[in-house]
Amino acid sequence: MDNIRWSYAINQWRTVETDLARLDQMESAFKTISVCGFEAIEITDVALGGHTIPAYFGSSAKFIEFLKGCGLSCVSSYFAGLDHCNPLAPADHERMAGSAGRAAELLAELGGSRLLARPCGPYWKEAPITGEKIGVLADCWNRVGAATKSAGVKTALHVDFLGGIRREDDIHKLLALTDPELVHVALDTAEFVIAGLDPVAFLKEHGARVAHVQFKDATTVDTFDDYARENAEMEYWPMPIITAGAERGIDRWYYEMGTPGGLVDFPEVTAALRNIGYTGWIVVESDQSPHVEESVMLNGWYKKKLLAEL
């Protein structure tokens, strides 16, 4: 597992506007992530992305200095919204490529190498997902991938259970229509499992396209098509609102690794990553955690256990 580095998503420290708004809050979050055994952070537009770092620190170099002072080494990756554009709108593609290129340059300065994006907006808004639409998406992401590649950053599409690209054959079609040198996949274990996808099988079939991995657990598969309901996901700031599952009492889809009843087989996924020779980041996430510090501690414990078993 020497080729794998472990990072932690910082977005769950930024669920309301007063979070991660002061340097002491950042210091506390970074030290917490460090002491739990992670060496980097993954940022998003609202969590240290965009203009945040220059505004707070003046330069990327000064931010990295601050990060290192807290025991972390770099920013592994950036989950970008690309100016809230719609990849299904060809008129937006140029703007998206420009935004991605700027984000990639910032990320490269921060030591990162993976720009993540959703391949398509929410399913409930964009359905039906047709072959023609997938063609438009492919054009978009080929363009974005080219824009980030010039900064040395790979574009990795993050498949999630609420998104338009969530069915296995749609993912296959999108991969077939995109340039494997430019467009990659970010495999998120919980999102795959909730969507009814098998991450291990996917790694066996498409391992060469996987350029980024996110680890979190889930306890429920969306067998009731909650993803398709109106307003299953709503735009909001700083985090989107997920209402999917609310009618049947699901307050939380995502859980810490090692949660009793968790559906992700992390030893199997990790073995599959090793078998395909995966090199790069595993980013652990705490989405929907009611208590982010507890979650990172639990995930840190599980990571140690996982590595010890391997």
Partner 1 sequence: MSTAESSGVGPEYQSRNIKWSYMDHWTMRSPSGWVTPQHGIKYADRFYRQLAGVGFQGVDPFEFRLLAQAQLFGSARKAEQFAQDRGIERFVNMFVAFYDDRTHLAETHDALLRNFENKVRAFEGITLDSFIVMPVSRYWLVEPVTDDKIKTMAECWSRIGRMLKTHGIKLSCHHEFYCALHSREEIDKFYAYADPEYVGLFIDTAQHEIVGIDSTELYLQYADRVTGFHFKDTHHTDTVDDYRTPPDPERAASTTSRWFWEMGTAEGLVDFPKLMRAIKSKGYTGWLTVEHDKADIGGANYAESTCRAKWYIDNVLSPIYP
- Told to check if 301 binds partner 1 by CB under 8 A, we report yes
Which of the stretches 181-189, 203-211, 227-235, 296-304 binds partner 1 when contact is defined by CB under 8 A? 296-304
4 binds partner 1 (CB under 8 A): no
Of residues 273-292, which lie at the interface with partner 1 (CB under 8 A)?
290-291
H helix or E strand, kind and range, residue 230: none
Helix, strand and coil content of the chain, in percent to the nearest 5, comes to: 45, 15, 40
Quick one: 32 or 52, whose CB is closer to partner 1?
A: 32
131 class by beta-carbon count within 10 Å (0-12 exposed, 13-18 middle, 19+ buried):
exposed
Identify the residue among 15, 28, 220, 243 touching partner 1 (CB under 8 A): 28
Angle (CA) 189 190 191, round 5°: 95
Terminal C-alpha separation, the chain: 8
Residue 306 neighbours by CB under 8 Å, 6+ apart = 257, 266, 267, 270
Residues 63-102 that bind partner 1 (CB under 8 A): 70-71
Type of residue at 310? L
Q: At its nearest, how many Å lie between partner 1 and the CB of residue 35?
A: 4
Residue 181 or 294: the one with the smaller Cβ distance to partner 1 is 294
**Torsions phi, psi of 283, nearest 5?**
-105, 120
Q: Which of 9, 20, 26, 36 binds partner 1 (CB under 8 A)?
A: 36
Report whether 204 contacts 233 (CB < 8 A). Answer: no
| 296 binds partner 1, rule: CB under 8 A | yes
**What is the closest distance, in whole angstroms, from the C-beta atom of residue 38 to partner 1 in the complex?**
11
- Give the x-and-dash track for 230-269 against partner 1 (CB under 8 A): ----------------------------x-x---------
Find, among 197, 148, 194, 139, the residue nearest to 171 by Cα. Answer: 197
Residues that bind partner 1 (CB under 8 A): 24, 28, 31-32, 34-37, 70-71, 258, 260, 290-291, 293-294, 296-298, 300-302, 304-309
